[in-house]
Amino acid sequence: MLIDTHTHVNFNGFKEDGPDVIDRALRAGVWLINVSSQITTSKRAVNIAVDYKEGVYAAVGLHPIHLHEVSVDESEIAFQSRREEFNLPEYRELGLNPKTVAIGETGLDYFHIPKDDDFDLVKKRQEAVFKQQIALAVELKKPLTIHSRGTEADPMGVYQDIMAILKQFPDAKGVIHCYSGDLKTAQQFIEMGFLISFTGIVTFKNAKEIQKVAKELPLDKILLETDAPYLAPEPYRGKRNEPAYVKYIAIKIAELKGISFEEVAKVTTENARKLFKI
């Protein structure tokens, strides 16, 4: 058994075949958490989760790129973000659902701040909404799923900003999703009680730095995720990702650590069950 702790079958990328994708995952022994980016996908994630007795769960939250309007166009993603205000009562109601196991994804994203916008103003807005969602997670006693993406010039600065904010909330716990930082920073997050999650990037041939981090971190501090439909692992790189492909991430982690696939599956599943209470 494996748990894909961060996927997006609640996104439009799976509009036509979402149930089939989930069924493929469950038949392959993969449970999943559909993570949200705004109120529409949060509601959808909860609605999907309640349709399944077990194996499918939700995380609800407002992604930092949806705090302003921006066109996102990269190799694995293209869309126009819609600005949304954080509606605390709505997100609290969704967060109270028994199938909601986390708040997120929330966090900071400096990479997609529009060039014409006031960087510092947008940054302050992101920080304020991030803090609201951290407070909600603490109130509901649920973990956070944290997004972090810095600028090209300073990719590590965002991690330091997130760390500084989290230190204001000592009761907050959760996971740093799609980790792409260095080993020292990962260890600092772990010391604060957070887990580190790896995506299909760890399978890429040129991802030597993140492979080093995955190799060195204790297995009991690691989670696995696909971030589907994005970041498909080898051998599906460049194609639409899906939760069933999380096994390729587990295979790579096992290879890097020189241990069995079964051990990676067992320990990372235990990690996810403990953090998300599933």
147 is in an annotated binding site: yes
Note the pLDDT tens digit of each residue in 118-177: 999 999 999 999 999 999 999 999 999 999 999 999 999 999 999 999 999 999 999 999
Q: Which helix (H) or strand (E) segment is 254 a member of?
A: helix 246-257
8 is in an annotated binding site: yes
CA distance 211 to 201: 9
Assigned token pair, 110: 């400096």
* Beta strand spans in the chain (E): 2-7, 30-35, 56-60, 71-74, 77-80, 100-109, 144-149, 174-176, 194-198, 222-224
pLDDT of residue 82: 72
CA of 138: how far to CAs of 6, 58, 122, 171, 174, in Å? 20, 17, 24, 6, 10
pLDDT of residue 114: 86
Q: Residue 187 pLDDT > 60, yes or no?
A: yes
Assigned token pair, 8: 């997006």
Q: pLDDT class for 104, splitting at 50, 70, 90?
A: very high
Burial 195-231 (b: 16+ CB within 10 A, else e): bbbbbbbbbbeebeebbebbeebebebbbbbbbbbbb
The answer to whether 107 and 162 are in contact (CB under 8 A) is yes
Q: Residue 69 pLDDT > 80, yes or no?
A: no
Return all residues near 243 (Cβ < 8 A) that are at least 6 apart: 4, 7, 9, 21, 22, 24, 25, 30, 32, 226, 228
6 is in an annotated binding site: yes
Note the pLDDT tens digit of each residue in 12-58: 999 999 999 999 999 999 999 999 999 999 999 999 999 999 999 99
Q: Which range of residues forms the domain containing residue 61?
A: 2-276
Average pLDDT of the chain is 95
Residue linked to tokens 């600065």: 157
pTM: 0.95
pLDDT of residue 81: 63
Q: Residue 74 pLDDT > 80, yes or no?
A: no
Query: Taking residues 216-229, what's their average pLDDT?
Result: 98
Cis check: omega of the bond before 19, within 30 degrees of 0: no
pLDDT of residue 215: 98
Q: Residue 71 pLDDT > 70, yes or no?
A: no
Percent of the chain surpassing pLDDT 90? 93
Query: Taking residues 89-115, what's their average pLDDT?
Result: 97
pLDDT of residue 61: 98
Q: Is 212 helix (H, G, I), strand (E, B) or coil?
A: helix
Q: Provide the number of structural domains found in the chain.
A: 1
Residue 154: CATH number of its domain: 3.20.20.140
